[in-house]
Amino acid sequence: MINIAVLGYGTIGSGVVEVLKTNGESIRKRAGDKINIKYVLDIREFPGDPIMEILVHDVNIILNDPEVKIVVEVMGGIEPAYSFVKEALLKGKSVVTSNKELVAKHGAELLDIAKERELNFLFEASVGGGIPIIRPLNQSLTADEIVEITGILNGTTNYILTKMSDEGMNFDEALKDAQALGYAERDPSADVEGYDACRKIAILSSLAYGMQVDFEDIYTEGIAGITDVDIKYAKKLDARIKLFATSIREDDKNVYAMVAPMMIRANHPLYSVGDVFNGIYVRGNVIGDVMFYGSGAGKLPTASAVVADVVDAAKHLNKNIWTIWSSKKLELIDINFVKHRFFVRADRKKASISDMKKLFGEITEVPEVVKDETAFITPLITEKEMKAKKEHISGMLGSIRVRF
Ligand code: HSE
C-alpha cells in the first residue's frame, strides 16, 4: 500500500478523492500497489462527508509522517503551497501538483530538489487540464527541437468566446456559467485577463527550451476588450476569435512568447477547439506538427491528470524521472519586433478607408457590419509600427491580431 496525502479539498481535491474511489482497482493494477489516501488537509470542516475521518488541519501531521510517500498539492496559489511542497520534498516525499502559479514560478527549483533526492515533482494537471502535454514534451518529443507551441490554454475564456459566438450570450452571462461549472479561477480576472494562460505557456516554454521562461516577461492581453461587434466581424470574415498562448522560436534560437486574442480561420488547427476544451499545437523541427486536444478545465478531467501523476510517482518511488528545466533565464525577444496582421475598427467619420490606405499602404477592406464604421486588415507589420500607427487613427474602436 502506498500512502498519499491531499492538500486542499476544493474542486480538484474532491475530484482526486472521487477518481481514486471510482477507479481504485484499475489504478491499483497500473500503480502496482494500492493507493491509499491517508490524510486530506483543509482549513474547513466538511460535516457529513466521509472525508472527515481523514481530515487534518495541521500540515505538519502529513509532513512528519514517514508513511506518506506522495503529497498531492491542489490548493492553488503561491503561499502556503510553495512552503508545503518544498518541505514535503525536503522530507523525502514526492509531490504532484495542479498548481500552475507554483510551477511557473518555482518549477525549476522544485525539480532540482526532487532530482537531488531521487524523488519526483510532477505537474501534468497544471497545463491543459486532463490533456497529456507535460509528459509528451518531456518524454515523447525528445528527438525534436521545438520551434512553436501555440495553445488555447484557458478553458474559461474559450467557453466564454464560444458561447458569445455560437449562442449570442453576453460576456457576463457566459462567465457566470463558467464559474458555476467549476472552470473559472477563484479570481476570474486570472482567466479573463490572460494571466492563467500566461503561466501555462511559461511552463510549456520552459520545458520545451529547457530554460526558465519568466511569466512576467510574456506579453499578455486577455479577452475583456472583445465585444459582440468583434464577434460579428469575425463571422463576416469566416473567422473565430480565440485566446492564443504562443511561444515561437525564430531563426534557431530567439524565442518570443505572448498571450492575446487572435482571429483564425478554418484552416488553422485550433479553429474547432470550442467550449471548455483546450488545444495545443506543437511544431518540432523533425516531427512537424502535433496536436493535443481535450478537456482543459473542470473537476474530473484535472483530477484524472493529477491521479495519473500519482500513479507515475508510485511507479518511481525511489527514482527521479529526469526533466530538463534549468533555472537559467531565457531572454525573450522584445515583442515590439514581432510581426502580425491586425483587424482594425474605427469610426468612419474620423477615419475613412482612404485615410487608412494612406497610413498603412495595402489594406484588406472588411465589409460593413456596423453602420458608419471603417473596418480593415493591415498588412504584416511589427507591434511597434502598429502602436505608432494607432496614434494616428482618431476614432479607433479596437484591433485584434489576425493569423490568416
Ligand atoms: N481556470 C482554468 C481554465 C482552470 O479555465 O482553464 C484550468 O487550469
pLDDT digit string (tens) for 256-304? 999 999 999 999 999 999 999 999 999 999 999 999 999 999 999 999 9
Q: Which three cell numbers stand for residue 89?
A: 520534498
**Domain assignments of the chain as residue spans, ordered by start:** 2-129+299-324, 136-294, 337-402
Amino acid at 365: E
Task: Give catalytic status of residue 200 as yes or no.
Answer: yes
CA 42 to chain centre: 25
Asked if 110 and 95 touch (Cβ cutoff 8 Å), the reply is yes
Place of cell 505572448: 258
What is the C-alpha separation between 323 and 265, in angstroms, rounded?
Answer: 36
Evaluate: CB of 154 within 6 angstroms of ligand 1. yes
Q: What is the pLDDT of residue 186?
A: 85
Asked if 221 and 198 touch (Cβ cutoff 8 Å), the reply is no
Which ligand 1 atom lies nearest to the CA of residue 158? 5
**CA distances (Å), origin 298, targets 127, 151, 293, 328:** 12, 18, 15, 33
Q: Which three cell numbers stand for residue 217?
A: 516577461
Q: What is the DSSP string of 315-343?
A: HTTTS-------SSBPPPPPGGG-EEEEE
How far apart are the CA of 263 and the centre of ligand 1, in A? Answer: 21
Q: Right CATH number for 2-129+299-324 from 2.60.40.10, 3.40.50.720, 3.90.550.10, 1.20.1250.20? A: 3.40.50.720
Largest CA-CA distance found in the chain, in angstroms, rounded: 74
| Residue with CA nearest ligand 1 atom 4 | 297
Q: What is the pTM of this model?
A: 0.97
Collapsing DSSP states into helix, strand and coil, what is residue 345? strand
Evaluate: CB of 15 within 6 angstroms of ligand 1. no
- Who's near 47: CB < 8 A, 6+ residues apart? none
What is the C-alpha separation between 230 and 226, in angstroms, rounded?
Answer: 6
Q: What is the pLDDT of residue 55?
A: 98
Collapsing DSSP states into helix, strand and coil, what is residue 1? coil
pLDDT digit string (tens) for 1-51? 999 999 999 999 999 999 999 999 999 999 999 999 999 999 999 999 999
Q: Right CATH number for 337-402 from 3.40.50.450, 3.30.70.120, 2.60.40.1730, 1.20.1250.20? A: 3.30.70.120
Strand 55-56: give its sheet, edge to edge. 55-56, 35-41, 2-7, 68-73, 94-97, 121-122
What is the C-alpha separation between 198 and 214, in angstroms, rounded?
Answer: 10
DSSP letter, residue 403: -
Identical fold for domains 136-294 and 337-402, yes or no, is no
Asked if 73 and 82 touch (Cβ cutoff 8 Å), the reply is no
Average pLDDT, the chain: 96
Selected catalytic residue, list 38, 200, 299, 389: 200
Residue 146 has pLDDT above 90, yes or no: yes
pLDDT digit string (tens) for 231-244? 999 999 999 999 99
Collapsing DSSP states into helix, strand and coil, what is residue 154? coil
pLDDT digit string (tens) for 340-374? 999 999 999 999 999 999 999 999 999 989 999 99
Q: Which three cell numbers stand for residue 277?
A: 476544451
Which ligand 1 atom lies nearest to the CA of residue 178? 5
What is the C-alpha separation between 349 and 26, in angstroms, rounded?
Answer: 67
Nearest to 304 by CA among 99, 28, 98, 154: 98
Q: Which three cell numbers stand for residue 340?
A: 502580425
How far apart are the CA of 183 and the centre of ligand 1, in A? Answer: 6
Domain formed by 136-294, architecture = 2-Layer Sandwich (3.30)
- Who's near 49: CB < 8 A, 6+ residues apart? none
How far apart are the CA of 394 and the centre of ligand 1, in A? Answer: 37
User: Residue 393 burial (CB < 10 Å; 0-12/13-18/19+)?
Assistant: buried
Q: What is the pLDDT of residue 391?
A: 94
What is the C-alpha separation between 186 and 183, in angstroms, rounded?
Answer: 9
